[in-house]
């Protein structure tokens, strides 16, 4: 079928064709009936259809109706381009399935199969009902409020999403954004920032493990251009992935069995250390803890006086404190006796730890040929050009145009955290961190301290609870000291059985906003039971998504095109020359003169609730602090503002009185740039502290947790086998035979999952955006299918189009339509995205496709014990339905 034939199959959409305009509640109106002299204008905004909302857009409004969208030519991030997700926002505005007024439920029974029986109520009744409940809780025990957010709450955008709950005073926050993308530990440990960014302007050789650097980066903004430019320039991309992505087809695809990346990574390190024997010695000595002396207990050998870690100076043949300025040469090899302890440099430990992981050993586990692993390792070392330098902005940097990068595919697996650490150890071995061509930080974002000479960044983004029995919070941080996110599964199981989780109070109310455990997490029966048990639940909702089935009160939210917001801009993940140094703020105001429906923006709801509950001053104060507003220039804590006013105050405080919201309406972007040399953190973050090729922090956290549990005489709730927990708190990368990689005759395949282009999270109701769904149905129908290699399907007597059932080792079952392809590993069953919405009150198109997450498990035995994230793969069997 050629493109033209395909085009004709798409029904002409009245709004895109420009012949009709929507009038909101009244429906469509033919364009030629518009009054002569109708007002037409283009309104500037920024687009929020991505996790990183950086692009500027313009919306054409005719007589109060938004009819068209385009990229803003003046915006330096997207330079006039726009992707389909951006353009489709018009349909999110005019989506007839939206929540259009405040509502209360009339059916007291709660469940995904229960019609809540919504009836419209006044704003006063909605606020009064919720505020009375919240105030009573806050006045007695604020912990009894649970707050669940996710990515559709725009946590990077709306200040109050993070600060409201702190001002309220509950530590109980759970997030669906996080447990499936627990990707922050290694970036925080190795360069202090939230995610790795790849310097695509200089990189010539990129080995990419389970990171979708094509399909899920932004097309219109810098990263899309950066990747296209790099490939055109000749950067070689080696994509290690169970499926061949579009970008892999522009480089080399290395099919791998899900969850076995650790085997390949260990073998690569083995080849580098034992077969090639070339690495960046200077970088190891001065920028990592490779020379720190490790004793037989696995601890740093410390100076008895200062408590600081020791190293061996091989020139003076003396032991010295790591930052002693008289050190001439840091020993990486050797064995020493210090204070009666036998010690070796951490580098020796590292080397010993990978001695048996040959490529042949790895091939048996990950399915990648030993020779391929050898060749890639060799190419990586050669391309990293150890010893080369480059001058940028008048500064001399090491030049390392090669890197390994990782994403949630390889990181959210049973051995994923260890794998991501392993990868950054390899990057550190080659000096490929913080320098041109390699893995970089997002400058200005890092707040680190130096402990033991090591870069130390707090791990938990929102809240942290030290160990106590009973526990203080439902987040489970007390039991998972290295978690970057709360442990959602255990949090909700604890609601059903607080005692088991050492909690001595119940949750009395739930505020859920833009996060969806039914669609985006797993163990749905537990989630249903917990949500049904909580006495009072409310949300600020855009549409009737699954969590609303458990709500007592709904506050209706405007669509993205109808909101006020200020958002910091900064490209992450992949950057080129265009976007590496871009910073600044984007501003948006509603494109329509008044909201289409009877809605109120979440920020104004927060303000009203805080006021009625008596903590508005704390909320306002948090705004000034969070936005970094200079003293005396921020909002007055005791005064009640409309959120739109606060945006204006924020902009004026940051950019001057002539640069308030009026400027933003005309220009959207408040541009700032960081000096180019600061984009390479070689002289900054990692120039001031060392990074861990020996992860003592992890080892030590496990030991401390163990001691705390023993002292309290308890074990981790829900954990039967504590040895399996302790082996995950390790200082050195080591292979484990976990549930995913242990062969099983019955469950002979493994499932893999990935993001798709026409859906960036659920942002702005994308799952029921008919334009985006239409793209999937018409052009990317494979995204609604279960994918399997053609040869495997044939061997199982299956063919494309068959209805199949996939049954997981954890018990879950999912049915769907089979698509056969050569572009997937023969042992793998592939599931794109998260499909199959369950709400009957959303557009029927959103219900199509398989609901992958039922195959997974959040039980303690299956999670990553050192992070509490849940693996995104499981072993399965496939049957004909």
Ligand X SMILES: Nc1nc2c(c(=O)[nH]1)N[C@H]1C(S)=C(S)[C@@H](COP(=O)(O)OP(=O)(O)OC[C@H]3O[C@@H](n4cnc5c(=O)[nH]c(N)nc54)[C@H](O)[C@@H]3O)O[C@H]1N2
Chain contacts with Mo ion (rule: CB under 5 A): 181
873 binds, among ligand X, Mo ion, none (CB under 5 to 8 A by kind): ligand X
- Cβ pair 367, 714 in contact under 8 A: no
Residue 75 three-state SS: coil
Give min distance, CB of 50 to ligand X, in A. 7
CB of 257 to ligand X, least distance (A): 7
Note whether 735 and 418 are within 8 A (CB). Answer: no
Q: How many CB atoms lie within 10 A of CB 117?
A: 12
**Residue 243 or residue 493: which is nearer to ligand X going by CB?**
243
Among 833, 863, 865, 878, binds ligand X (CB under 6 A): 833
Q: Does 519 bind ligand X (CB under 6 A)?
A: yes
Q: How far is the CB of 852 from ligand X (least distance, A)?
A: 4
757 binds ligand X (CB under 6 A): yes
The binding track of 219-258 with respect to ligand X, each residue x by CB under 6 A or -, is ---------------------xxxx-x----------x-x
Please work out the total of residues on this chain that contact ligand X, with binding judged by CB under 6 A.
57
Contacting residues for 854 by C-beta, under 8 A, at least 6 apart: 522, 524, 808, 812, 813, 814
Task: Give the one entry of ligand X, Mo ion, none that residue 545 binds, where binding means its C-beta sits below a cut-off of 5 to 8 angstroms depending on kind.
Answer: ligand X
Q: What are phi and psi of 793, to 5 degrees?
A: -60, -45
Contact 488, 521 (CB under 8 A): yes
783 binds ligand X (CB under 6 A): no
C-beta nearest to ligand X: residue = 409
739 contributes a contact to ligand X by CB under 6 A: no
Q: Give the range of 74-82, 111-119, 499-507, 536-544 binding ligand X by CB under 6 A.
A: 536-544
Does position 520 interact with ligand X (CB under 6 A)? The reply is: yes
Choice between 195 and 457, CB closer to ligand X: 195
Comparison of 76 and 210: residue with beta carbon closer to Mo ion: 210
Distance between CA 179 and CA 151 in Å, rounded?
12
Report yes or no: 596 and 26 within 8 Å, Cβ to Cβ: no
Q: Among 13-21, 207-215, 279-287, 328-336, which window interacts with ligand X (CB under 6 A)?
A: 207-215
Q: Which does 453 bind (CB under 5 to 8 A by kind): ligand X, Mo ion, none?
A: none
CA 496, chain centre distance (Å): 28
CB burial of residue 308 (10 Å; 0-12, 13-18, 19+): middle
- In whole angstroms, the minimum distance from the beta carbon of 835 to ligand X comes to 8
Q: Choose one: 36-44, 199-207, 313-321, 541-549; the region binding ligand X (CB under 6 A).
A: 541-549
Dihedrals phi, psi of 431, to nearest 5 degrees: 75, 20
Shortest distance, position 738 Cβ to ligand X, whole Å: 12
Q: CB of residue 480 vs ligand X: minimum separation in angstroms?
A: 18
How far is Cα 595 from Cα 604, in angstroms, rounded to an integer? 14
The first and second tokens of residue 538, run together, are 């409310």
Query: CA-to-CA distance for 865 and 867, rounded, in angstroms?
Result: 6
What secondary structure letter does DSSP report for 159? H
Least separation in angstroms between residue 215's CB and Mo ion is: 14
The full length of the chain comes to: 881
762 binds ligand X (CB under 6 A): yes
- Using the contact rule CB under 6 A, the part of the chain among 67-75, 137-145, 482-490, 756-764 near ligand X is 756-764
Contact present, 515 and 152 (Cβ < 8 Å): yes
DSSP secondary structure string, 745-791?
A: SSS-EEEEEE--TT-STTTTTGGG-HHHHHHHHHH-GGGGSEEEEHH
Q: Which is nearer to ligand X, 216 or 287 (CB)?
A: 216
Cα–Cα distances in Å, from 173 out to 35, 144, 370, 474, 812?
Answer: 52, 11, 45, 8, 27
Within 396-415, the residues that bind ligand X by CB under 6 A are 407-410, 413
Task: Kindly tell me which residue out of 267, 454, 873, 874 binds ligand X, with binding defined by CB under 6 A.
Answer: 873
Binding-site ranges for ligand X (CB under 6 A): 51, 150-152, 176-177, 180-181, 209-212, 215-216, 240-243, 245, 256, 258-259, 261, 407-410, 413, 513-516, 519-520, 540-542, 545, 557, 752-755, 757, 759-765, 767, 833-834, 852-853, 873
């Amino acid at each position: 079928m050629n493109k033209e034939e395909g085009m004709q199959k798409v029904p002409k959409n009245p709004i895109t064709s420009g012949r009709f305009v929507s009038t909101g509640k009244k429906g469509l109106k033919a364009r030629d009936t518009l009054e002569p002299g109708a007002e037409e204008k283009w309104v500037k905004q920024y687009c929020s259809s991505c996790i990183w909302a950086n692009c500027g857009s313009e919306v054409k409004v005719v007589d109060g109706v938004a009819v068209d969208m385009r990229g803003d030519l003046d915006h330096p991030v997207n330079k006039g381009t726009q992707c389909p997700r951006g353009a489709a926002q018009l349909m999110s505005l005019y989506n007839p399935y939206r929540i259009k007024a405040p509502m209360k439920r009339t059916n007291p029974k709660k469940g995904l199969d229960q019609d809540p029986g919504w009836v419209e109520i006044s704003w006063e009744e909605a606020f009064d009902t919720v505020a009375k409940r919240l105030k009573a809780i806050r006045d007695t025990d604020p912990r009894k409020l649970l707050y669940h957010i996710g990515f559709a709450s725009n946590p990077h955008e709306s200040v109050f999403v993070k600060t409201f709950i702190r001002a309220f005073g509950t530590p109980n926050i759970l997030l669906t954004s996080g447990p499936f993308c627990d990707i922050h530990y290694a970036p925080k440990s190795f360069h202090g920032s939230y995610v790795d960014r790849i310097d695509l302007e200089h990189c010539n050789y990129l080995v990419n493990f389970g990171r979708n650097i094509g399909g899920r980066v932004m097309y219109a903004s810098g990263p899309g251009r950066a990747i296209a430019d790099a490939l055109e320039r000749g950067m070689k991309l080696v994509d290690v992935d169970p499926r061949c992505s579009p970008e892999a087809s522009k480089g080399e695809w290395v099919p791998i069995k899900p969850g076995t990346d650790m085997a390949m990574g260990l073998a690569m390190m083995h080849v580098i250390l034992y077969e090639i024997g070339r690495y960046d010695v200077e970088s190891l000595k001065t920028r990592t803890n490779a020379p720190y002396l490790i004793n037989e207990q696995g601890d740093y050998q410390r100076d008895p006086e200062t408590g600081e870690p020791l190293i061996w100076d091989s020139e003076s043949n003396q032991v010295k404190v790591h930052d002693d300025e008289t050190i001439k040469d840091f020993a990486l090899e050797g064995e020493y006796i210090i204070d009666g302890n036998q010690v070796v440099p951490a580098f020796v430990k590292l080397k010993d730890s990978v001695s048996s992981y040959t490529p042949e050993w790895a091939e048996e586990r990950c399915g990648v040929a030993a020779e391929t692993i050898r060749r890639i390792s060799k190419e990586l070392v050669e391309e990293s050009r150890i010893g080369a330098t480059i001058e940028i902005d008048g500064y001399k940097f090491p030049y390392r145009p090669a890197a390994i990068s990782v994403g949630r595919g390889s990181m959210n697996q049973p051995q994923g955290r260890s794998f991501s650490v392993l990868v950054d150890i390899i990057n550190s071995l080659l000096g490929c961190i913080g320098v041109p061509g390699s893995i970089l930080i997002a400058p200005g974002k890092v707040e680190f301290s130096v402990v033991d000479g090591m870069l130390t960044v707090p791990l938990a983004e929102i809240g942290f609870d030290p160990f106590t029995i009973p526990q203080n919070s439902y987040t489970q941080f007390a039991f998972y000291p290295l978690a970057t996110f709360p442990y959602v599964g255990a949090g909700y199981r604890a609601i059903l059985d607080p005692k088991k989780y050492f909690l001595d109070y119940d949750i009395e109310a739930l505020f859920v906003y833009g996060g969806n455990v039914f669609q985006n997490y797993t163990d749905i029966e537990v989630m249903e039971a917990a949500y049904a048990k909580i006495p009072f639940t409310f949300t600020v909702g855009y549409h009737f998504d699954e969590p609303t089935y458990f709500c007592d009160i709904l506050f209706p939210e405007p669509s993205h095109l109808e909101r006020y917001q200020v958002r910091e801009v900064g490209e992450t993940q992949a950057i080129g020359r265009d976007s590496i140094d871009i910073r600044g703020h984007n501003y948006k105001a509603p494109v329509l003169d008044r909201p289409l429906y009877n809605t109120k923006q979440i920020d104004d709801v927060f303000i009203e609730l805080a006021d009625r509950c008596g903590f508005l001053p704390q909320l306002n104060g948090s705004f000034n602090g969070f936005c970094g507003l200079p003293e005396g220039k921020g909002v007055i804590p005791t005064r009640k503002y409309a959120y739109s006013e606060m945006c204006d105050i924020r902009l004026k405080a940051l950019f001057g009185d002539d640069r308030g919201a009026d400027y933003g309406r005309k220009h959207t972007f408040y541009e700032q740039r960081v000096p180019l040399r600061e984009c390479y953190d070689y002289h900054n973050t990692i120039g001031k502290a060392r990074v861990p090729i020996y992860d003592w922090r992890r080892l030590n956290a496990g030991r401390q947790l163990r001691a705390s549990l023993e002292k309290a005489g308890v074990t981790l709730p829900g954990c039967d086998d504590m040895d399996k927990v302790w082996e995950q708190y390790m200082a050195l990368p080591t292979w484990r035979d976990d549930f995913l990689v242990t062969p099983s005759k019955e469950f002979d395949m493994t499932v893999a999952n990935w993001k798709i282009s026409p859906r960036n999270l659920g942002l702005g109701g994308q799952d029921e955006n008919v334009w985006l769904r239409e793209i999937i149905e018409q052009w990317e129908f494979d995204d609604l299918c279960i994918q399997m290699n053609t040869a495997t399907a044939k061997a199982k007597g299956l063919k494309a189009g068959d209805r199949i059932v996939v049954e997981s080792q954890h018990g879950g079952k999912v049915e769907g339509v089979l698509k056969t392809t050569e572009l997937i590993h023969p042992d793998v069953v592939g599931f794109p995205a998260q499909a199959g919405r369950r709400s009957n009150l959303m557009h029927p198109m959103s219900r199509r496709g398989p609901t992958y997450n039922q195959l997974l498990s959040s039980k303690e035995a299956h999670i990553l014990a050192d992070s509490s994230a849940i693996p995104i793969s499981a072993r399965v069997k496939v049957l004909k339905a």
